[in-house]
Amino acid sequence: MSIEIRKAKQDEAGGLAQAIHDLHGEKFDLEFGKSRFNYLIDKNFIIIARDTETQDFIGRAMFEAIEDPRFGTGMVWGVEVWEGYKGKGIGTKILQTLIEEASKYFADYNVPLRFLYVFTRSSNHQAKALYRKVGFREGPLLDRMFTDEQPQEQLMIADFRNKK
């Protein structure tokens, strides 16, 4: 098995949205996903992992600058590795690639990468371990952030201000 991890291209937005819809079913709105992914690829970026033998999408993470890119701060969304590919270091490589690309993104605005933020379920210990592995630390817990039925969300923060 050979894996490719890189920034998504504009013409991959629809295929990525379809792959996530296939994975999650009706919980993932296909048309909204296509629109959102096109926007993110155009204005920010999405890191994808693909099996180079099958060309299947097997993982992703999305990046969006917070407010003005000159702040050097971004949000990480939708970090996911498909079943069957977990435990192989793909999530780590996706996040490492995202951090490298975020640094380049902000360099285009002549500012360093300062902070990255990500939310995860407070009970998702595997995800929190992954984020800690690449430099995030736990921030505050937030109740009912997205819906009243969901459990607490854990804010994870990576501070790059003193890293060279």
CATH number at residue 91: 3.40.630.30
Does residue 140 belong to any structural domain of this protein?
yes
As given in the structure block, the two tokens for residue 120 are: 């995860």
End-to-end CA separation in angstroms for the chain: 34
**Structural Rg of the chain based on CA atoms:** 16
Does residue 164 belong to any structural domain of this protein?
no
Residues 6+ apart with CB under 8 A from 105: 44, 45, 63, 65, 69, 74, 113
> Is the alpha carbon torsion for 79, 121, 162, 70 positive or negative?
positive
* Domain coverage including residue 10: 3-159
Residues 6+ apart with CB under 8 A from 80: 20, 59, 60, 61
* Residue 125 pLDDT: 94
Give backbone dihedrals phi and psi of 118, rounded to 5 degrees, phi first.
-150, 145
- Assess whether pLDDT exceeds 80 at residue 114: yes
Does residue 127 belong to any structural domain of this protein?
yes
Does residue 125 belong to any structural domain of this protein?
yes
pTM value is 0.93
17 with 62: CB under 8 angstroms?
no
Does residue 117 belong to any structural domain of this protein?
yes
- How far is 12 from 46, CA to CA, in rounded Å? 10
Does residue 13 belong to any structural domain of this protein?
yes
Query: Cα torsion at 37, 19, 87, 48 (round to 10°)?
Result: -30
Tens-place pLDDT, residues 129-150: 999 999 999 999 988 776 677 7
- How far is 122 from 74, CA to CA, in rounded Å? 21
Does residue 77 belong to any structural domain of this protein?
yes
Tens-place pLDDT, residues 67-113: 899 999 999 999 999 999 999 999 999 999 999 999 999 999 999 99
Does residue 152 belong to any structural domain of this protein?
yes
Helices (H), the chain: 13-24, 30-43, 90-107, 125-133
Looking at the structure of the chain, the number of domains it has is 1
Q: Which among 77, 25, 15 has a CA at the least distance from the CA of 50?
A: 15
